[in-house]
Amino acid sequence: MTDDIDGLLKTMRGDAQTLVRSPSSTVAPPSDGELGRKAFEALQKLSHDPRALEDEGPIGEGGMGVVHLARQVSLDRRVAIKFLRPDRGSTHDVEQLLSEAWTAGKLEHPNILPIHALALTADGKPVIVMKRIEGVTWSALLRDPGAMEAHAPGKVPLDEHLRILTQVCHAVHFAHTRGVVHRDLKPENVMVGAFGEVYVVDWGLASAPGPALQLAGTPAYMAPEMLARGGDVVSERTDVYLLGAMLFEVLTGVAPHRGNSLHELFSAVVRSEPQLPSTAPEALASLVRRCMQADASKRPASALEVRRELEAFAERQGSLSLTLQSEHRLTELQTLLSSEAPDVTKVYASFSASRFGFEQALATWAGNTRARDGWKSALRSMVTFEATHGSARTARAFFAELAEANPELQRALEIATAREEEQSRKLQRLEQLETELNPLTGSSIRMATALIISLIWIVAPWIGAKYAKGTDYEGVNAVPIALLSVVVLGFAMLSRRDEGLRSTPLNRQLIRIVAFGMAAQALGLVAGFLALGPYPPGIVPMLSGYWAVIAGVGAVSIFPAIWPTAVAYAFSAAASYVDIDHRYEWGTVGNIVFCINALVLWKQQRRLRRQRPATWRPR
Q: Active-site positions? A: 184
The CA distance from 594 to 562, in Å, is 8
Judge contact between 59 and 67, C-beta under 8 A: yes
Residue 161 to residue 148: CA distance in whole angstroms:
9
Q: How far apart are CA 67 and CA 100, in angstroms?
A: 14
Contact of 371 with 319, CB cutoff 8 Å: yes
CB 238 within 8 A of CB 225: yes
Using alpha carbons, select from 279, 68, 302, 285 the residue that is nearest to residue 172: 302
- List Cβ neighbours of 444 (8 Å cut-off, separation of 6 or more): 499, 602, 605, 606
Cα–Cα distance between 357 and 375 in angstroms, integer? 9
DSSP 3-state assignment of 135?
A: strand
**What is the DSSP track for 66-99?**
EEEEEEETTTTEEEEEEEE-TT--SHHHHHHHHH
> Could you tell me if 486 and 518 are in contact, meaning their C-beta atoms sit under 8 angstroms apart?
yes
Q: Is 607 exposed, middle or buried (0-12, 13-18, 19+ CB in 10 A)?
A: exposed
Task: Give strand pairing partners of 112.
Answer: 200
Tell me the C-alpha distance between 584 and 223, whole Å.
128
Q: Which residues contact 491 (CB under 8 A, 6 or more apart)?
A: none
DSSP 299: S
CA 482 to chain centre: 74
If one counts every other C-beta atom within 10 angstroms of the C-beta of residue 89, the result is 14
User: In 3D, which of 484, 473, 479 has the Cα closest to residue 523?
Assistant: 479
Residue 355, φ and ψ in degrees, nearest 5: -65, -45
How far apart CA 208 and CA 503 sit, in angstroms, is 98
Distance of alpha carbon 145 from alpha carbon 140, whole angstroms: 9
- What's the rounded Cα separation, in Å, for the pair 148 and 150? 5
Q: Is residue 82 part of an annotated ligand binding site?
A: yes
How far is Cα 225 from Cα 291, in angstroms, rounded to an integer?
13
Cα angle: 58, vertex 60, 64; to 5 degrees:
105
Residue whose C-alpha is closest to residue 382's, from 369, 390, 49: 390
Q: Which residues contact 46 (CB under 8 A, 6 or more apart)?
A: 118, 119, 120, 126
Are 545 and 570 in contact, with CB atoms under 8 Å apart? yes
Write the single-letter amino acid at 487: V
| Phi, psi for residue 82 in degrees, rounded to 5 | -120, 130
Question: Residues at the annotated binding site?
Answer: 82
List binding-site positions for ATP. Answer: 82
